[in-house]
Amino acid sequence: RTGQPQDGYPYVWSVLRWIEGETADLTPPDASEAPVLADFLKALHRLAPDDAPSSDVRGCPLSKKLEDIERRMALLAEETHAITPEIRQAWGAGLAAPIDLPRLWVAGDVHARNVLVRNGKLAAFIDWGDICAGDPASDLASIWGLFESADARRAAIDAYGMSEATLTRARGWAVMYGVLLLETGRHDHPRHAKMGADTLRRLNADLT
C-alpha cells in the first residue's frame, strides 16, 4: 500500500510486507551466499532506458566524490590506521578507470544495513530510495561490505563476471563507502564506523 503527502505527513509513504531477518552488519551472510549476491546484482544490472533517473551520489563517476572523500581520508589518516598505501592506490585506480558499460539500473545503496540475512542466507535487499541508472560498480562495492571471507569475495567477483575496469571501479567505490561510513560514524554511530572499517580492512587484505 502506498500513499501521497497529506496534511500532517509531507512525504510519499508505503506499507510493505514484513520480512524476517537481521541486518548483515549484525548477522553476516554465509560465505556460500557470495554467488547469490552476484546473481542478484547481475539480474538487476540491466540496460536502463534513456529517461531513467541519474544520481549525483550513486552510480556516478567517482570523480564527483573526489573532494569529499579525500578530505575524509585525510582526517582518517591522521587519527586511524585505516588508510593504507593499498587503500590509497585502490582509490586512485578507481578514479582513473574508464566506465566501460552503458547506463545500467543500479540499486544505489547496497550496504550491510540494507541487506537482511536469515539463517545465514540472504533474505532481502531493502531501501530502494536511491535506485537510478549509472555505473553498477557502486553496487559491486557491497562485496567488500558483506563478506568476511576472501574466498567468498573472489567467488562473488568471478560469479558476476566483471571486466578489469569494472572491478577496479568497484574497489574504488568500496574505498568511498568505507571512508564515508568510518569517518562519519566514528564519533556517534559505532555500527556505521565498524561497517566502514570492515570494508576497508577486507579490501586492504585483498590487495596485499
Q: Which residues pair with 117 in a beta bridge?
A: 22, 122
Predicted pLDDT at 140: 99
Q: What would the DSSP string read from start to end of 131-169?
A: -EEE-THHHHTHHHHH---HHHHHHHHHHHT--HHHHHH
Predicted pLDDT at 67: 96
Predicted pLDDT at 115: 98
| Long-range CB contacts (within 8 A, 24+) of 61-64 | 61/99, 61/135, 62/94, 62/95, 62/169, 62/172, 62/173, 62/176, 63/95
Q: What Rg value do the Cα atoms of the chain yield, rounded?
A: 17
Predicted pLDDT at 91: 99
Predicted pLDDT at 189: 96
How many Cβ atoms from other residues are within 10 Å of residue 192's Cβ? 20
Q: Is the pTM of this model over 0.85?
A: yes
Predicted pLDDT at 1: 80
Stretches where the chain sits below pLDDT 50 are none
Predicted pLDDT at 7: 84
How much of the chain, in percent, has pLDDT values that exceed 90? 93
Predicted pLDDT at 180: 98
User: Where do the domains of the chain lie, and which CATH numbers do they carry?
Assistant: 20-207 (3.90.1200.10)
